[in-house]
Structure 1
Protein backbone atom coordinates (compact mmCIF):
# COMPACT_ATOMS: atom_id res chain seq x y z
CA UNK A 1 0.00 0.00 0.00
CA UNK A 2 1.34 3.42 -0.98
CA UNK A 3 2.34 5.83 1.79
CA UNK A 4 2.64 9.63 1.41
CA UNK A 5 5.69 10.65 3.43
CA UNK A 6 4.94 13.36 6.00
CA UNK A 7 8.04 15.43 6.68
CA UNK A 8 6.36 17.41 9.44
CA UNK A 9 5.59 14.32 11.53
CA UNK A 10 8.38 11.87 10.77
CA UNK A 11 7.26 8.24 11.02
CA UNK A 12 9.11 4.93 10.74
CA UNK A 13 6.09 3.37 8.98
CA UNK A 14 7.41 0.72 6.59
CA UNK A 15 10.95 0.98 7.93
CA UNK A 16 10.51 -0.70 11.32
CA UNK A 17 12.82 -3.64 10.51
CA UNK A 18 15.80 -1.35 9.93
CA UNK A 19 18.39 -1.15 12.72
CA UNK A 20 18.54 2.60 11.96
CA UNK A 21 14.79 3.06 11.39
CA UNK A 22 14.61 6.53 13.00
CA UNK A 23 17.52 7.87 10.94
CA UNK A 24 16.21 6.23 7.73
CA UNK A 25 12.77 7.74 8.38
CA UNK A 26 14.46 11.12 8.77
CA UNK A 27 16.34 10.61 5.51
CA UNK A 28 13.11 9.67 3.74
CA UNK A 29 11.38 12.74 5.23
CA UNK A 30 14.30 14.91 4.11
CA UNK A 31 13.75 13.73 0.52
CA UNK A 32 10.00 14.36 0.83
CA UNK A 33 10.59 17.91 2.07
CA UNK A 34 12.98 18.63 -0.82
CA UNK A 35 10.51 17.55 -3.51
CA UNK A 36 7.58 19.32 -1.84
CA UNK A 37 9.48 22.59 -1.46
CA UNK A 38 11.22 22.56 -4.86
CA UNK A 39 8.52 21.03 -7.09
CA UNK A 40 5.34 20.89 -4.95
CA UNK A 41 5.49 17.11 -5.40
CA UNK A 42 4.19 14.71 -2.74
CA UNK A 43 6.78 11.99 -2.08
CA UNK A 44 4.95 8.66 -2.04
CA UNK A 45 6.63 5.35 -1.22
CA UNK A 46 5.48 1.81 -1.94
CA UNK A 47 6.53 -1.37 -0.10
CA UNK A 48 9.29 -3.26 -1.91
CA UNK A 49 7.13 -6.34 -2.41
CA UNK A 50 4.69 -4.19 -4.44
CA UNK A 51 7.32 -2.44 -6.55
CA UNK A 52 9.61 -5.08 -8.03
CA UNK A 53 9.84 -3.18 -11.34
CA UNK A 54 11.41 -0.13 -9.65
CA UNK A 55 13.88 -2.28 -7.71
CA UNK A 56 14.85 -4.15 -10.88
CA UNK A 57 15.34 -0.85 -12.75
CA UNK A 58 17.67 0.57 -10.08
CA UNK A 59 19.54 -2.72 -9.64
CA UNK A 60 20.09 -3.05 -13.39
CA UNK A 61 21.67 0.41 -13.59
CA UNK A 62 23.89 -0.29 -10.56
CA UNK A 63 25.04 -3.64 -11.97
CA UNK A 64 25.53 -2.48 -15.58
CA UNK A 65 27.27 0.80 -14.73
CA UNK A 66 29.44 -0.18 -11.74
CA UNK A 67 29.00 -3.90 -11.05
CA UNK A 68 27.26 -3.13 -7.75
CA UNK A 69 24.79 -5.59 -6.24
CA UNK A 70 23.59 -4.81 -2.72
CA UNK A 71 22.94 -7.59 -0.26
CA UNK A 72 20.72 -5.39 1.90
CA UNK A 73 16.97 -5.96 1.71
CA UNK A 74 14.93 -3.27 -0.11
CA UNK A 75 12.09 -1.97 2.09
CA UNK A 76 10.43 0.72 -0.02
CA UNK A 77 10.59 2.47 -3.36
CA UNK A 78 9.37 5.64 -4.98
CA UNK A 79 9.14 6.38 -8.70
CA UNK A 80 7.91 9.53 -10.40
CA UNK A 81 8.52 12.06 -13.18
CA UNK A 82 9.03 15.80 -12.75
CA UNK A 83 9.75 18.19 -15.62
CA UNK A 84 10.95 15.54 -18.08
CA UNK A 85 13.18 13.82 -15.51
CA UNK A 86 12.45 10.37 -14.11
CA UNK A 87 13.29 9.63 -10.48
CA UNK A 88 13.52 6.24 -8.80
CA UNK A 89 14.31 5.62 -5.13
CA UNK A 90 15.04 2.46 -3.17
CA UNK A 91 15.28 2.55 0.63
CA UNK A 92 17.21 -0.41 2.07
CA UNK A 93 16.93 -2.07 5.46
CA UNK A 94 20.56 -1.23 6.40
CA UNK A 95 19.80 2.52 6.10
CA UNK A 96 20.97 3.10 2.53
CA UNK A 97 18.96 5.20 0.09
CA UNK A 98 19.74 4.86 -3.62
CA UNK A 99 18.20 7.24 -6.09
CA UNK A 100 18.32 7.46 -9.86
CA UNK A 101 17.82 10.80 -11.60
CA UNK A 102 17.38 10.27 -15.34
CA UNK A 103 16.78 13.25 -17.62
CA UNK A 104 14.89 12.25 -20.75
CA UNK A 105 16.42 14.98 -22.89
CA UNK A 106 19.85 15.73 -21.37
CA UNK A 107 22.31 12.82 -21.00
CA UNK A 108 24.52 15.02 -18.77
CA UNK A 109 21.75 15.06 -16.15
CA UNK A 110 21.65 11.36 -15.39
CA UNK A 111 23.08 10.07 -12.13
CA UNK A 112 22.82 7.57 -9.30
CA UNK A 113 23.00 8.94 -5.79
CA UNK A 114 23.79 7.15 -2.54
CA UNK A 115 22.76 8.48 0.85
CA UNK A 116 23.74 6.79 4.09
CA UNK A 117 21.55 7.17 7.17
CA UNK A 118 23.19 8.39 10.35
CA UNK A 119 24.51 5.45 12.35
CA UNK A 120 25.07 3.05 9.46
CA UNK A 121 28.41 1.85 8.14
CA UNK A 122 29.38 2.32 4.50
CA UNK A 123 28.05 -0.79 2.73
CA UNK A 124 30.86 -3.15 1.74
CA UNK A 125 29.71 -2.87 -1.89
CA UNK A 126 30.67 0.85 -1.81
CA UNK A 127 33.77 0.76 0.42
CA UNK A 128 36.77 2.35 -1.25
CA UNK A 129 34.84 3.09 -4.44
CA UNK A 130 33.25 6.41 -3.48
CA UNK A 131 34.05 9.41 -1.33
CA UNK A 132 31.15 10.54 0.82
CA UNK A 133 30.38 14.16 1.59
CA UNK A 134 28.57 15.03 4.80
CA UNK A 135 25.40 17.06 4.95
CA UNK A 136 23.46 18.12 8.04
CA UNK A 137 19.68 17.79 8.08
CA UNK A 138 17.23 18.74 10.83
CA UNK A 139 15.18 15.69 9.86
CA UNK A 140 17.95 13.14 9.28
CA UNK A 141 20.95 14.26 11.32
CA UNK A 142 24.20 13.73 9.41
CA UNK A 143 23.70 12.31 5.93
CA UNK A 144 26.69 11.01 3.98
CA UNK A 145 26.23 11.07 0.23
CA UNK A 146 27.94 10.29 -3.03
CA UNK A 147 26.98 9.76 -6.68
CA UNK A 148 28.11 8.71 -10.10
CA UNK A 149 27.06 9.80 -13.59
CA UNK A 150 25.10 7.30 -15.69
CA UNK A 151 26.69 6.68 -19.07
CA UNK A 152 24.26 4.12 -20.57
CA UNK A 153 20.66 4.33 -21.75
CA UNK A 154 18.06 3.26 -19.18
CA UNK A 155 14.87 5.08 -20.04
CA UNK A 156 11.97 3.78 -17.97
CA UNK A 157 9.17 2.11 -19.82
Structure 2
Protein backbone atom coordinates (compact mmCIF):
# COMPACT_ATOMS: atom_id res chain seq x y z
CA UNK A 1 0.00 0.00 0.00
CA UNK A 2 1.35 3.42 -0.92
CA UNK A 3 2.06 5.97 1.78
CA UNK A 4 2.91 9.66 1.67
CA UNK A 5 6.42 10.54 2.84
CA UNK A 6 6.41 13.06 5.67
CA UNK A 7 9.42 15.37 5.43
CA UNK A 8 8.67 17.07 8.75
CA UNK A 9 8.63 13.88 10.82
CA UNK A 10 11.19 11.64 9.09
CA UNK A 11 10.53 7.92 9.46
CA UNK A 12 12.58 4.85 8.50
CA UNK A 13 9.38 2.89 7.84
CA UNK A 14 9.96 0.56 4.88
CA UNK A 15 13.72 1.14 4.98
CA UNK A 16 14.63 -0.65 8.21
CA UNK A 17 16.77 -3.33 6.52
CA UNK A 18 19.19 -0.72 5.15
CA UNK A 19 22.48 -0.34 7.04
CA UNK A 20 22.05 3.43 6.53
CA UNK A 21 18.28 3.50 7.20
CA UNK A 22 18.31 6.89 8.96
CA UNK A 23 20.27 8.56 6.15
CA UNK A 24 18.16 6.87 3.46
CA UNK A 25 14.99 8.03 5.24
CA UNK A 26 16.43 11.56 5.23
CA UNK A 27 17.18 11.27 1.50
CA UNK A 28 13.64 10.05 0.82
CA UNK A 29 12.25 12.95 2.91
CA UNK A 30 14.47 15.36 0.97
CA UNK A 31 12.83 14.16 -2.27
CA UNK A 32 9.39 14.58 -0.68
CA UNK A 33 10.20 18.17 0.33
CA UNK A 34 11.46 18.95 -3.20
CA UNK A 35 8.22 17.74 -4.80
CA UNK A 36 6.05 19.57 -2.28
CA UNK A 37 7.93 22.86 -2.68
CA UNK A 38 8.43 22.74 -6.46
CA UNK A 39 5.19 21.10 -7.64
CA UNK A 40 2.88 21.10 -4.58
CA UNK A 41 2.82 17.31 -5.01
CA UNK A 42 2.62 14.76 -2.19
CA UNK A 43 5.48 12.27 -2.62
CA UNK A 44 4.20 8.73 -2.14
CA UNK A 45 6.11 5.46 -2.08
CA UNK A 46 5.19 1.81 -1.96
CA UNK A 47 7.18 -1.33 -1.31
CA UNK A 48 9.25 -2.54 -4.23
CA UNK A 49 7.33 -5.83 -4.11
CA UNK A 50 4.13 -3.90 -4.86
CA UNK A 51 5.79 -1.55 -7.36
CA UNK A 52 7.39 -4.14 -9.64
CA UNK A 53 6.48 -2.26 -12.84
CA UNK A 54 8.29 0.88 -11.65
CA UNK A 55 11.36 -1.05 -10.49
CA UNK A 56 11.45 -3.01 -13.77
CA UNK A 57 11.15 0.19 -15.86
CA UNK A 58 14.05 1.85 -14.01
CA UNK A 59 16.08 -1.38 -14.18
CA UNK A 60 15.51 -1.65 -17.93
CA UNK A 61 16.60 1.95 -18.55
CA UNK A 62 19.80 1.45 -16.55
CA UNK A 63 20.61 -1.80 -18.35
CA UNK A 64 19.78 -0.60 -21.89
CA UNK A 65 21.38 2.85 -21.59
CA UNK A 66 24.59 2.06 -19.66
CA UNK A 67 24.64 -1.68 -18.96
CA UNK A 68 24.22 -0.91 -15.24
CA UNK A 69 22.75 -3.52 -12.92
CA UNK A 70 22.19 -2.41 -9.33
CA UNK A 71 23.27 -5.24 -7.03
CA UNK A 72 21.37 -4.05 -3.96
CA UNK A 73 17.73 -5.05 -3.49
CA UNK A 74 15.09 -2.39 -4.08
CA UNK A 75 13.09 -1.50 -0.96
CA UNK A 76 10.63 1.14 -2.17
CA UNK A 77 9.56 2.85 -5.37
CA UNK A 78 7.52 5.82 -6.45
CA UNK A 79 5.98 7.04 -9.68
CA UNK A 80 4.53 10.50 -10.23
CA UNK A 81 3.53 12.59 -13.21
CA UNK A 82 3.78 16.35 -12.69
CA UNK A 83 3.97 19.08 -15.34
CA UNK A 84 4.03 16.44 -18.12
CA UNK A 85 7.12 14.84 -16.56
CA UNK A 86 7.12 11.26 -15.39
CA UNK A 87 9.27 10.83 -12.27
CA UNK A 88 10.22 7.37 -11.02
CA UNK A 89 12.23 6.81 -7.84
CA UNK A 90 13.68 3.58 -6.49
CA UNK A 91 15.25 3.40 -3.04
CA UNK A 92 17.72 0.54 -2.51
CA UNK A 93 18.82 -1.26 0.63
CA UNK A 94 22.42 -0.07 0.19
CA UNK A 95 21.28 3.56 0.60
CA UNK A 96 21.25 4.35 -3.12
CA UNK A 97 18.35 6.30 -4.60
CA UNK A 98 17.79 6.27 -8.36
CA UNK A 99 15.40 8.65 -10.07
CA UNK A 100 14.29 8.84 -13.67
CA UNK A 101 13.08 12.17 -15.07
CA UNK A 102 11.22 11.43 -18.30
CA UNK A 103 9.55 14.36 -20.05
CA UNK A 104 6.52 13.15 -21.97
CA UNK A 105 6.92 15.67 -24.80
CA UNK A 106 9.10 14.50 -27.67
CA UNK A 107 12.56 16.05 -27.41
CA UNK A 108 12.10 16.94 -23.72
CA UNK A 109 14.59 16.30 -20.93
CA UNK A 110 15.20 12.71 -19.93
CA UNK A 111 17.81 11.67 -17.40
CA UNK A 112 18.72 9.22 -14.67
CA UNK A 113 19.95 10.59 -11.35
CA UNK A 114 21.79 8.71 -8.63
CA UNK A 115 22.02 9.85 -5.01
CA UNK A 116 24.07 8.21 -2.28
CA UNK A 117 22.90 8.36 1.32
CA UNK A 118 25.35 9.79 3.81
CA UNK A 119 27.62 7.03 5.11
CA UNK A 120 27.53 4.79 2.05
CA UNK A 121 30.24 4.23 -0.52
CA UNK A 122 29.51 4.42 -4.24
CA UNK A 123 28.55 0.95 -5.43
CA UNK A 124 31.00 -0.77 -7.76
CA UNK A 125 28.54 -0.62 -10.66
CA UNK A 126 28.63 3.21 -10.44
CA UNK A 127 32.37 3.62 -9.80
CA UNK A 128 33.00 5.30 -13.19
CA UNK A 129 30.81 8.30 -12.33
CA UNK A 130 32.02 11.56 -10.82
CA UNK A 131 30.01 12.62 -7.78
CA UNK A 132 29.00 16.10 -6.63
CA UNK A 133 28.18 16.90 -3.01
CA UNK A 134 25.09 18.65 -1.72
CA UNK A 135 24.16 19.50 1.87
CA UNK A 136 20.66 18.77 3.11
CA UNK A 137 19.12 19.44 6.51
CA UNK A 138 17.14 16.22 6.14
CA UNK A 139 19.77 13.94 4.58
CA UNK A 140 23.15 15.33 5.63
CA UNK A 141 25.67 15.23 2.79
CA UNK A 142 24.21 13.76 -0.38
CA UNK A 143 26.49 12.73 -3.21
CA UNK A 144 24.86 12.71 -6.63
CA UNK A 145 25.46 12.19 -10.31
CA UNK A 146 23.40 11.61 -13.44
CA UNK A 147 23.39 10.70 -17.11
CA UNK A 148 21.17 11.78 -20.00
CA UNK A 149 18.83 9.16 -21.46
CA UNK A 150 19.34 8.84 -25.20
CA UNK A 151 16.81 6.14 -26.16
CA UNK A 152 13.05 5.85 -25.99
CA UNK A 153 11.99 3.91 -22.90
CA UNK A 154 8.29 4.50 -22.65
CA UNK A 155 6.90 1.51 -20.72
Query: TM-score higher than 0.5 here?
Result: yes
Alignment TM-score, normalising by the size of structure 2: 0.98
Task: State the partner residue of 1:69.
Answer: 69
SS in 1 for 2:45: strand
Task: State the partner residue of 1:88.
Answer: 88
Cα distance in 2, alignment partners of residues 83 and 108 from structure 1 = 12
| 2:145 is the alignment partner of 1:146 | yes
Q: Within 5 Å, give how 1:52-131 maps onto structure 2.
A: 52-127=52-127, 129-131=128-130
Alignment TM-score, normalising by the size of structure 1: 0.97
The alignment covers a number of residue pairs equal to 155
SS in 2 for 1:62: helix
Unaligned runs of 5+ in 1: none
Offset from partner CA, 1:23-49 (integer Å, 9 cap, x none): 000000000000001100000000011
Shift of 1:104: 1.0
RMSD value over aligned CA atoms? 0.8
Question: Which stretches of structure 1, 4 residues or longer, exceed 3 Å deviation after superposition?
Answer: none
Shift of 1:107: 2.9
Cα distance in 2, alignment partners of residues 21 and 62 from structure 1 = 24
Cα distance in 2, alignment partners of residues 122 and 37 from structure 1 = 28
| 2:41 is the alignment partner of 1:41 | yes
